Structure 1
């Protein structure tokens, strides 16, 4: 006998599996009574407005603000990026904060309001000290060209999945190391 418990969404009024309901914010004190699909639609609609947007929990009388971290957990990556193009996450792996950077490429140095770490808005990487964005882009292209040159000279693509494979000795019998592929072929 399965545990397929269903409940009714307070917005779309459809009965759905209770697995499709979520706690909207960590500050919400109510039961999970709105399905994920309705919460996503609520956020999408709210973010379609102009100017600064404050999104409140769509559950009845709850007026808790849905913060950036909550939005990221709820909506798809594509929707999050599309609706908040000026928002960037801090590049400090120990931070976990993010912010909106309205100056965009006009002032690419972004300083995290939480930890003070500097990052590049244009390239979405930690700030490239002693290099302008143009210099960084040139160095990145040179590095990419060197990588491609190395791959062409020292590797062969797996005939099945295309993953680059480097022969490091032994016989010419090769097996792709990608677990889902494991194609066997002759190096020659």
Structure 2
């Protein structure tokens, strides 16, 4: 009798387990708070339980707002320091957004890896790798029929075989002055061009009061007193040429 009872009890337990396994499991959506079948939930990396209708509505609204990345709506409202989970492109495909919205999604996804580069010479735009763009100091138009090179910081064109580029123009000015034989004031570095006369130059910068030699570039004297200037100029041009 005991054996029969044990066998019946074991069979009954097996039947109950089989019945429980066949019953549909429900879950509570954390957005709409409704009890729904488990197969209507989506799998996010953060393990939050959200129904397909709610997550589709959330994704669609963010796509229409051109917000990227799209984050889990539950993570965004949670009061903790945990990094919100991002919704993947695979989930966007599976959730059933329309073709127009998915095209917007792909465009936003691509924009994370590239940047639109506009060439001022050929007036065309082309996407380039974002990391290379961020690390580059000079930009080169990637289109095959354009050779434009320019500075990313100041947008000024680079001169091929020219002097090193400087955004404030100091390098280019220095190269031009060397070519033209112009001089800098040895005190305040103001550019000076002699258009005739002797080599004795007086800096034109206010309050500089520097007198220098255009031939050798040496500082003769810095003074506003006529006697000091005459004495220093006479001493300098005993060893240097006053006139060419």
Q: TM-score range by the shorter chain?
A: 0.3 to 0.5
Higher share of residues assigned helix: 2
Provide TM-score, normalisation by structure 1.
0.39
Name which structure has the greater RCO, CA cutoff 8 Å, separation 6+: 1
Provide TM-score, normalisation by structure 2.
0.32
